[in-house]
Amino acid sequence: MYQSGENPSRFIGVNEWESEQAHLENFRGSDRYTKYGEALRAHVAAAPVVEHFTNIMSM
């Protein structure tokens, strides 16, 4: 979890998966997802925005 230096009330969480499909099919239906959600809710006021990104600048 990263906190914004300019806006301390904003945070970003970064998770890496082998694929978007692995995240959606393997993680979202698991007990780990439930536990992750419970831990996250203790720190946020609303449901987080979830987006999937592709690395376009791998070095």
- The domain in which residue 37 lies consists of 18-45
What does the pLDDT read at residue 26? Answer: 84
> Is 26 within a domain?
yes
Q: Does residue 22 belong to any structural domain of this protein?
A: yes
Residue with tokens 């995240």: 23
Q: Is residue 50 part of a domain?
A: no
- Total count of domains within the chain: 1
In a domain, 31, yes or no: yes
The model carries a pTM of 0.58
Q: Please, which pLDDT band fits residue 5 given cuts at 50, 70 and 90?
A: very high
Strands (E), the chain: 2-3, 11-12
Per the domain annotation, does 13 fall within a domain?
A: no
Instruction: Give ∠ CA 9-48-37 in degrees, rounded to 5.
Output: 110
Q: How far is the CA of 17 from the CAs of 1, 25, 54, in angstroms? A: 16, 11, 11
Q: What is the pLDDT of residues 19-54, one digit of tens each?
A: 888 888 888 888 988 898 888 888 888 888 888 888
Residue 35 located in a structural domain:
yes
Residue 17 has pLDDT above 90, yes or no: no
